[in-house]
Structure 1
């Protein structure tokens, strides 16, 4: 088993950050480490314990390049529609996201989280995604504990059907998240600033 970082549960939860510029593109990631983290992630809950999730792990450079191409196309359209004040947190995040779009194909491993769902229901879809996304976040936590980082990305979903065709994903399997995985440059991540708790907590009603 891979050695784990000496993090308390609260430290793990508060320092698992969106990592882009600190992904180490030069250090290989053994597939067994990713499988180990996925085995932890599969302990997450799913509706009726059906566990209908699937994890497409991409290591082949040509395959990663195909997915990266669609991601870059989606990011290009997205970024052109955004205007941020200079030196704002949003501007820094945008710079980081732009970097990721440029180097995505070079990230050692890409993991697509997907779920058997067929046609998505009209209205609230929490029942579908609530059976996938907790496990995807558990994967991010398990990776962090092992000295790896990732970031939550969904832009490629604008080209979900094209990516599915390229990867041979069946039509009844819907993609929900793309996680680029690499060792991080250092492991000294800190909690991020967040809005005041009292502004978002509602006791006994709104």
Structure 2
């Protein structure tokens, strides 16, 4: 698979959360996923001793089972989404939110059709951890997740980090044979080639609105 001609800055600013532009009909080669995961393993990690793991799901029946759990998870937050809509009075902000929720609903409806689901996992469960322990826990997997998404983008693949199935994590563990007591799922990442490869940087808050130098 040829690498897209992206500079480092372009790669960092155009690796988007892709939902509607995932090509549901085009297969993704096993070797491409393996390349992306090999690169992900080079991400910075901690000395906590925790290891990240990735479960790659391509079997249609397993993807359907995960998508069903994802839909159940999404249903739990339907009221919250309605509240978000009702709370916005600015027309421009309402339009932006509508687009985001429409994109999210598209993935809810079509997740089972996305050819690859990558489940990011971490050894150990995060309950009853101190702030230091919890930070170390997540840092053992999240940099690798982001590296995987960057590697995928560079190869013409789209990804989005999702978590809605985690309300039914144990059921997902049963579907995939994951030992629930020892291994914690962190995210479900749908992966597919994108419809077109051109993505633009997203509109974000100005740096000065979130930057705190020396003190808050």
Q: TM-score, normalised by structure 1?
A: 0.95
RMSD over equivalenced CA pairs, Å: 1.4
Structure 2 residue aligned with 1:103: 110
Residue 164 (structure 2) pairs with residue 155 (structure 1): yes
* Deviation of 1:91 (Å): 1.6
* Deviation of 1:205 (Å): 1.3
Residue 14 (structure 2) pairs with residue 4 (structure 1): no
Superposed, 1:29-48 pairs within 5 Å as: 29-48=28-47
Residue 129 (structure 2) pairs with residue 129 (structure 1): no
* Deviation of 1:31 (Å): 1.4
Deviations along 1:155-180, one digit per CA (max 9) or x if unpaired, are: 11101111111211012110111100
Q: TM-score, normalised by structure 2?
A: 0.91
Superposed, 1:130-145 pairs within 5 Å as: 130-145=139-154
| Unaligned ranges ≥5, structure 1 | none
Size of the aligned set, in residue pairs, is: 205
Structure 2 residue aligned with 1:187: 197
* Deviation of 1:102 (Å): 0.7
Residue 184 (structure 2) pairs with residue 174 (structure 1): yes
Structure 2 residue aligned with 1:15: 14
* Deviation of 1:121 (Å): 3.3
Looking at structure 2, the residues matched to 199 and 81 of structure 1 have their Cα atoms a distance apart, in angstroms, of 26
Deviations along 1:92-140, one digit per CA (max 9) or x if unpaired, are: 1111010101110100000000010135333432111111111001100
Relative to structure 2, which stretch is displaced further, 135-144 or 71-80?
71-80
